[in-house]
Structure 1
């Protein structure tokens, strides 16, 4: 008969049961509850009740899913100033903020492009002069935070409905070459009967320069004999905007 030491029943029966180590319960990151609360505030009260950094956090939730985005949002605002300025900042400058890589910077620029498209929708197929505030909002969203000067033209039909919106020239930080003959040529190609001139001052100050005024008057004098009206020349800056017509300069 086999000895007890060879009895596998006794062998297994006498061995101590292995200790089962339970995986330590991991606490949820603190920011998850904050995300839920912020989403709930947005859902119940809307975006108007949220500060810029909170709206920016909501955007970053999707772009940076496994991190606390509040410090990143506040760092972006500390660097650029406002939510609009964050979205308007060039991608390479966004990436200088800790936590913002190429993918997140690109996604923020996509959000900015969508916002501009939304603003443009407010003035498309509408009588522009009766929607003047929307026109100003659109111009500001499109140009206020550009790092270089742009010269934009809004082309209107005989009912003052927007036909086209085009950036005709892009220049340096403080100068854009504008050619009145090219402005009028394009208006004639589009059968526009009125135009609104727009350009930005990257310095932030929208005050028209002497060169701005002289150039505008030259375009007006060239356009008038051809039946094309120049309704206004709007200058956009980070610190506001200026209407040459409102300032009685044209």
Structure 2
């Protein structure tokens, strides 16, 4: 009898398999809008952690970082601090994040940036909002305001990035850009421009004016939102 019980137990499927099937079916029939963040994250983890219950892992990731976007934006070393996330899974999550960023960038590449502003903001938030260090990014535009290139020019500390106005304009000239949009993030989460941010932006504007390079805006990206210096009438 003990052997029969052992055999029956061995034939039992793990409890999470039925849950996975139901979740996949709900995604297929109702779409991603029907799933909260933790269930969408579970769907991602199904492939990355094939032989384990991923619900506790998904909930632990969200408890640590706050949202699906913040999970995908988290650095690899912090992802690995969550129980159930090893180096391979952490790397796979970053690959998924990179693919999502590339998809959003594809929506604005070559298009007139000023008429695709919401997509520009979506891209900048996906790329920068959850970085642990400040990044200074430049969107280079052609004479029709189409995106030529998107480059991170400098990476700094948690609250400072060195920016050199002459280098910004020099790179714009190299790319034959006629306008630029400046973007940087505030790891603190608060996108409010600092006095140093405003002064640096005005210096780039003046340097660019002399060489025919316009600065359309300077966006500051934070976890809590974004700030537009043009919208705030600071430039």
TM-score norm. by structure 1 comes to 0.91
Name the counterpart of 2:7: 24
Query: Offset at 1:80?
Result: 0.3
1:60 equivalent in structure 2: 45
Equivalent residues in 2 for 1:74-85, closer than 5 Å? 74-85=59-70
Quote the offset at 1:28 in angstroms. 1.1
Between 1:122-131 and 1:21-30, the stretch displaced more is: 21-30
Aligned-partner Cα distance in 1 for 2:153–2:212: 21
Match of 2:189 among 199, 204, 207: 204
Secondary structure of 2:137's partner? strand
Counterpart of 1:232? 217
What TM-score, normalized to structure 2? 0.96
Aligned to 2:81: 96
Q: Deviation at 1:225?
A: 1.9
CA drift of 1:185 comes to: 0.2
Match of 2:108 in 1: 123
How many pairs align?
A: 231
Deviations 1:87-135 (A, max 9, x none): 0101010010000000100100100110110110110111110000000
How far 1:30 moved relative to its partner?
Answer: 1.0
Cα deviation, residue 48, structure 1: 1.4
Residues 1:187 and 2:177 are matched in the alignment? no
Q: Secondary structure at the match of 1:208?
A: coil
| Structure 2 residue ranges without an equivalent (≥5) | none
The structure with the larger Rg is 1
> Is residue 142 from structure 1 mapped to residue 127 from structure 2 by the alignment?
yes
Looking at structure 1, the residues matched to 107 and 149 of structure 2 have their Cα atoms a distance apart, in angstroms, of 14
SS state at 1:34 partner: helix
Structure 1 runs (4+) greater than 4 angstroms displaced:
none
1: distance between equivalents of 2:191 and 2:34? 30
Structural RMSD (CA)? 1.1
| Deviation of the 1:153 alpha carbon | 0.1
Unaligned runs of 5+ in 1: 1-18
